[in-house]
Structure 1
Amino acid sequence: MERQTSHFFQHYGSILLLLLGILIGSIIGGFFPDTVTWLKPLGDIFLNLLFAAVIPLLFFAIASAVANIDRSQKLGRIISVMAAVFLGTVLIAAICTIIALWFFPVEAPQAAQEPTSELLQSDPNDTWGDKLVRFVTVDEFYKLLSRENMLAFVIFSFLLGIAAQRSGDAGASFRRFLSSANEVMKQLLILIMKVAPIGLGAYFAYQVGTIGPALFGFYAKPLGLYYILGAFYFLVFFSGYAYLAAGKIGVNRFWRNNILPSATAISTCSSIATMPVNLAAAPKMGIPAAVANVVIPLGTTLHKNGSSMSSIVKIYVAFVLIGRDFFEPMTLLTALGITVLVSIVAGGIPNGGYIGEMLMISVYGLPTEAIPAVMIIGTLVDPMATVLNATGDTVAAMLVSRFALGKNTLHSNEELDTDGIE
């Protein structure tokens, strides 16, 4: 019993501490509103630490990942189809979330709708070309280090990683430096997140003290919508993907062998912890080892349906809080781009969801007041997001098998129809 309790706190301890901090902050804000102005600096310090860390963290995470790709391992068609499947399913999840938010909008508490920051204002004489150039590039290197130019910075990091990877033996020391620095920055983020319960608790005390109890009703609707939509996507869309891969046999195999991975994802709240169970379930679903051993490990980092959906919800919540229209075409296209980028980058970073939120806030130039809201949403949707992230990898592997190796690949072992998870 003690071992089970220890195992539970190992996986959920940080989330429980964060929720405890938010709860205590809410109580202080509700019953002692005069004290919240003294607590807000604690939240500001925490957010400033995150902002200071996000630039070097993203740089080393992206550059080291690209620089250390093994060019000798070209898996050809499997890799190409895998990239298309990952991108396609992540975008489908995001678009479904946008549609759901369109039909079930959320209204912010009136006091929360503050004027947007100066970063949101643009020159009315700008053409779309001017905006595009300014969005993806800068004219001076030092400007890359500002979070106002986050997308340009990400593109530069990718290009630098490619250059390091192409430099061969001459760049070996630089690639080792990138990998070493990436590990150091991960540890720095872990240290900063130790004070997240205090920082977010202080900020939430300030929000409750200034906005009032209406704040709780505001969070309830997007959270309820996410869990309902997540369950719908899990049952309907995953079944559809399995059917596309292998017809009724594919649906049957997927669901009979997806019980243990789903339970593991819920109990551990970790995609990485679910990966071994996914690999064990893959052959019972008819997925060839050549596909499973590539798609599932890479999918653990790069393929995140649940994170895609939560990213859209968090962007929407931030826009609602500042009174800005989320459904403008350019805003939606940017949201889809951020969703794909977060899905790729955040998987290899501890507490990567928070870095995704920093990226989102920076790209849109949103005020820092929106950050605690999206962090709270991200924390509360984490269990459902993990289930969608982790179990989506096996159904993605089924699709890759179908389109990379042929439509009869998953039908090759008919005896699997009578097998279950051992």
Structure 2
Amino acid sequence: MKRIKLGLVTKLLIAIILGIIFGQLAFLPNFIIQIPVTISALFSSLLSFIIPLMIIGFVVVGIADLTQGAGKLLGITTLMAYSSTLIAGFIAYFIAVNVFPLFIDSGLSAEGIGEKSSLDPLFSIPIEPIMDVTSAIVFSFMIGICISWLRGQGKGDTMYNFFSEFSLIISKLLNSLIIPGLPIFIFGNFANLSYTGSVFSILSVFWKVFVIVIGLQLILVSLFFVIAGLYTKKNPLILIKNQIPGYITAIGTQSSAATIPVNLEVAKKNGVSAQIREFVIPLCATIHLLGSIVTVISCVTAVLLMYNMPVQFGMMAGFIAMLGIAMVAAPGAPGGAIMSALPFMTMVGIDPTGVLGNLLITLYLTQDSFGTAANVSGDNAIAVIMDKIYFKHILKKNN
């Protein structure tokens, strides 16, 4: 009998569905549900340990391969990511202030949105990362640019070979352990979310906001791919189709960093060169937050409207500009963006440690997976554009 081989997308969808069903089985003792939650937590710890190493392995070699124009490529990529994040934030604000008042009652309160506590793992193994994500990015930039400069001088082969082989080790680890383990990780996450019932209770109140947010994210990502397709003369529909595995993976993991290996394969399908995709994808997983800022701005505006608080453009413009910078340091993990944004909530009159701050965390986490999916999808649109910019403008000009 021929064995049916399931693709990654199919496995992820099955894991999501089974996780939701498993978490709803009320007759099961809690410790039974805690088993996949524990496995998921252990996997998450391992992933947190590997993420900085992944960034170093890919970004250092990616920059080092760019013996000419590395600084320009970094600057253009960063500018494009920040501009995309800002534009998405302002669009989200204008949609929110014009559409949300049609169905948000300013007398609504956060009371009654109670939920069961999430299940804790049966045990945990503390695995501290060698360095945090921001340090890994800075380290990779400095080392990669210096190796790139050395190679331009006819030197640097020893350092380049070391990081190249380190990159191969990371790739082997990802292909043999991380990617095969993603469905198990997702199953545990969704089982816990389903057990708490938080997603369902919150959506019963805010489902209209979420529908608009998700729709806006999809529209913005599609427009980004259309722009990328027009600029590079590639079919936008094929680019969007290729992104589906990355989008679904991000929904399940709620992590831009965890989606990097899948997103790299998507970029390869899109015809993006190895040196560009291995530089742009890990970098943008940290600095490009198109979907996250749409979620944050929409949720903040919704809460302000609910409590009849000011939503003036001047106030929100400063908040959006600051978020574009603050969220760059957000860890590529569930809830990272909202945690980085919390210290700046006082700019719009929200106490990050009060009731509204807690409500925003709950709202954001409910929709976090879709925002992350939009983030990583936009990363590949940037990669397609940067591939042409590098080979047509930066590299040719230097030659």
> TM-score normalised to the size of structure 1?
0.54
Matched position secondary structure for 1:63:
helix
Q: Are the aligned partners of 1:278 and 1:394 in contact in 2 as well (CA < 8 Å)?
A: yes
Q: Are the aligned partners of 1:66 and 1:158 in contact in 2 as well (CA < 8 Å)?
A: yes
Q: Are the aligned partners of 2:285 and 2:379 in contact in 1 as well (CA < 8 Å)?
A: yes
Amino acid at match of 2:76: V
Name the CA distance, whole Å, in 2 between partners of 1:178 and 1:405: 24
1:308 corresponds in structure 2 to 289
Q: Cα deviation per residue 1:148-190 (whole Å; 9 max; x = unaligned)?
A: x956654676589679979985998899678647854775544
Name the CA distance, whole Å, in 2 between partners of 1:156 and 1:303: 14
Following TM superposition, by how much is the alpha carbon of 1:300 offset from its aligned partner in structure 2, in angstroms? 5.2
Name the CA distance, whole Å, in 1 between partners of 2:206 and 2:39: 21
Name the CA distance, whole Å, in 2 between partners of 1:277 and 1:181: 21
2:51 corresponds in structure 1 to 58
Q: Cα deviation per residue 1:245-300 (whole Å; 9 max; x = unaligned)?
A: xxxxxxxxx44x42574265156556444545543xx9xxxxxxxxx675466445
- With 225-234 and 331-340 compared, the bigger mean Cα shift is at 331-340
Structure 1 gaps of 5+ residues are 115-143, 243-253, 283-291, 343-354, 410-422
Name the CA distance, whole Å, in 1 between partners of 2:394 and 2:387: 10
Name the CA distance, whole Å, in 2 between partners of 1:220 and 1:22: 22
Name the CA distance, whole Å, in 2 between partners of 1:260 and 1:210: 36
Q: Which structure 2 residues correspond to residues 157-172 of structure 1 after superposition, within 5 A?
A: 158=140
Amino acid at match of 1:220: V
1:88 corresponds in structure 2 to 79
Q: Cα deviation per residue 1:369-400 (whole Å; 9 max; x = unaligned)?
A: 57852443257x46x954x4445434333434
Q: Are the aligned partners of 2:210 and 2:367 in contact in 1 as well (CA < 8 Å)?
A: no
Amino acid at match of 1:17: I
Q: Are the aligned partners of 2:242 and 2:269 in contact in 1 as well (CA < 8 Å)?
A: no
Following TM superposition, by how much is the alpha carbon of 1:226 offset from its aligned partner in structure 2, in angstroms? 0.9
Q: Which structure 2 residues correspond to residues 335-354 of structure 1 after superposition, within 5 A?
A: 335-336=324-325, 338-339=327-328
Distance 1:337 1:274, change over 3 A: same
Q: Which structure 2 residues correspond to residues 250-329 of structure 1 after superposition, within 5 A?
A: 254-255=232-233, 257-259=234-236, 261-262=238-239, 264-266=241-243, 269=246, 271-275=263-267, 278-279=270-271, 294-295=275-276, 298-299=279-280, 301-302=282-283, 308-316=289-297, 327=316, 329=318
Matched position secondary structure for 2:334:
helix
Q: Are the aligned partners of 1:22 and 1:201 in contact in 2 as well (CA < 8 Å)?
A: yes
Name the CA distance, whole Å, in 2 between partners of 1:43 and 1:320: 36
Name the CA distance, whole Å, in 1 between partners of 2:228 and 2:175: 33
Name the CA distance, whole Å, in 2 between partners of 1:293 and 1:209: 42
Distance 1:179 1:393, change over 3 A: closer
The answer to whether the aligner puts 1:376 opposite 2:376 as a matched pair is no
Q: Which structure 2 residues correspond to residues 9-408 of structure 1 after superposition, within 5 A?
A: 9-21=6-18, 23-24=20-21, 28=24, 45=38, 48-49=41-42, 52-65=45-58, 68=61, 71=64, 73-77=65-69, 79-105=70-96, 110-111=110-111, 145=128, 150=132, 153-154=135-136, 158=140, 180=169, 184=173, 189-190=178-179, 191=181, 193-206=183-196, 207-208=198-199, 211=202, 213-214=204-205, 216-235=207-226, 237-238=227-228, 242=231, 254-255=232-233, 257-259=234-236, 261-262=238-239, 264-266=241-243, 269=246, 271-275=263-267, 278-279=270-271, 294-295=275-276, 298-299=279-280, 301-302=282-283, 308-316=289-297, 327=316, 329=318, 332-336=321-325, 338-339=327-328, 355-357=332-334, 359-360=336-337, 363=340, 372-378=365-371, 381=373, 386=377, 388-401=378-391, 403-404=393-394
Question: What fraction of aligned residue pairs are identical, expressed as a percent?
Answer: 9
Matched position secondary structure for 1:75:
coil
Name the CA distance, whole Å, in 2 between partners of 1:339 and 1:23: 32
Distance 1:91 1:180, change over 3 A: same
Name the CA distance, whole Å, in 1 between partners of 2:371 and 2:170: 27
Matched position secondary structure for 1:357:
coil
Structure 2 gaps of 5+ residues are 115-126, 151-155, 247-261, 343-356
Q: Are the aligned partners of 2:263 and 2:281 in contact in 1 as well (CA < 8 Å)?
A: yes
> TM-score normalised to the size of structure 2?
0.57
RMSD (CA atoms):
5.6
Distance 1:163 1:12, change over 3 A: closer
Q: Are the aligned partners of 1:94 and 1:339 in contact in 2 as well (CA < 8 Å)?
A: no
